[in-house]
Every structure is written in C-alpha cells, then in structure tokens.
Chains A and B, each alone.
Chain A
Amino acid sequence: AQSVTQPDIHITVSEGASLELRCNYSYGATPYLFWYVQSPGQGLQLLLKYFSGDTLVQGIKGFEAEFKRSQSSFNLRKPSVHWSDAAEYFCAVYGNTPLVFGKGTRLSVIA
C-alpha cells in the first residue's frame, strides 16, 4: 500500500518570502499525487494534482509542485507567501487503495 510522509510538522515564514513544503511518498508504481489545504474551521481544498506528463504542476492561489520520481518527492512551492496562506497543508497519494494523506504541515506566516 502507498504511504505519504510530510517531514515538517510546522513551518513559519515571513510574508513575501518563498515557501517549500516537503512531501515524500512510497509506492511501487506511478502514483497520483495531490496537495490539499485546510484553513481553520474549513474543509480541505484541492490546490493541485499530478497524474502524468509535465512534472511541474501549477495550481490555484499561485502554488506549484514538482514531481521527482528519483527522489519520490512532490514538494509544494510558492514564490511569495501571503498572510492568507497560513493553514494546514496535506499531501496525498492515490495508488492501489483509496486516497492516503500525510499528517500535514502547519504553515504560519509572520509579518
């Protein structure tokens, strides 16, 4: 079965700084990868997803993610963080079982 690891539990960045959230997956075949964001009191919202093709995926809210098969990674990036980006971010993978989520990374944004 597939699994997902998000090594960083909590990250703090300054507003306007760049951001990279790490995600590593374990799956024998080509995975289907997702990033979701959960704002306080809200449900999960899909930011972007990777199925195949171009390994650099663009999503909503200015986020992008790059699939690197050699590193089993699907890191999420944003060039300039806004205060409204403060939230919990979940990486998820679909393989031969239903969607499996990582434990999440909480992003704090400071002025």
Chain B
Amino acid sequence: DAMVIQNPRYQVTQFGKPVTLSCSQTLNHNVMYWYQQKSSQAPKLLFHYYDKDFNNEADTPDNFQSRRPNTSFCFLDIRSPGLGDAAMYLCATSRAPDTYTDTQYFGPGTRLTVL
C-alpha cells in the first residue's frame, strides 16, 4: 500500500563522492518534490517537478540536481556531497503544484550520512 517510496532509507557516502537518492510513487501525481530536513530543523524545499517542468528554489545549491525520467520516478543527485549535506531527504507528491488545494504525500525519507 506504500504510495511514496524512497530508496534507500539510509545512505552513507564519502565526502565528494556523488550519490543518488530515489523516489517512486504509485499515486500517478503530476508533481514531485524534494525537501531537505536537517536535524531539529524544518523541511526545506529544494525543487519540484510539475510533470516534466523543473522548478528550482532560488537558494538551492548547484550541487543538487534532479531527474524525473517518467511520472513515477524522481531522483535527487548530489554531485559532490559535503559534510553540511548530511540530512534527511524527503520526497513528496501532489496532484498539482497549488498546495492550498492539494495535499502533499510524503515518503519516509532517506537519511544521508557524509563521512
């Protein structure tokens, strides 16, 4: 019954070694979001896709990229992870980007550790 699935749940990488986090959804939603949540902080939106249209938040570092090859899957690529990128990464989906009308459904998150 899982609707938003994130793999892996825990990821360990080395400083500077590229890493990819995966998100898939069975809801057939148009929009997929990636959030970064550092310890004891609020989730922070990195970017989102509305279908194939990519929308980057202004303060998202260039080190973070995303791909959405089809409706069901979305990937978060961190090209050169730094120690400051250690966080929980949350994927979410909604039918449309106007969140005041549509609920966002969240996955369980991937906790990234950078050594």
Binding site for B on A (CB under 8 A): 4, 9, 32, 36, 41-46, 49, 51, 90, 94, 98-104
A98 near B45: Cβ-Cβ < 8 Å: yes
One digit per residue, 1 when the CB lies within 8 angstroms of any chain A CB and 0 when it does not, for chain B 49-65 equals: 00000000100000000
Return the 10 tightest CB-CB contacts between A and B, nearest first.
A43-B106, A32-B100, A101-B42, A44-B106, A43-B108, A103-B42, A43-B107, A94-B100, A94-B99, A101-B43
Residues of B within 8 A of A98 (CB): 45, 48, 57, 99
Contact A42 B108 (CB under 8 A): yes
Question: With an 8 A cutoff between CB atoms, is B86 at the interface?
Answer: no
Mask: chain B, 81-115; 1 = CB below 8 Å from A; 0 = not: 00000000010100000011101111111000000
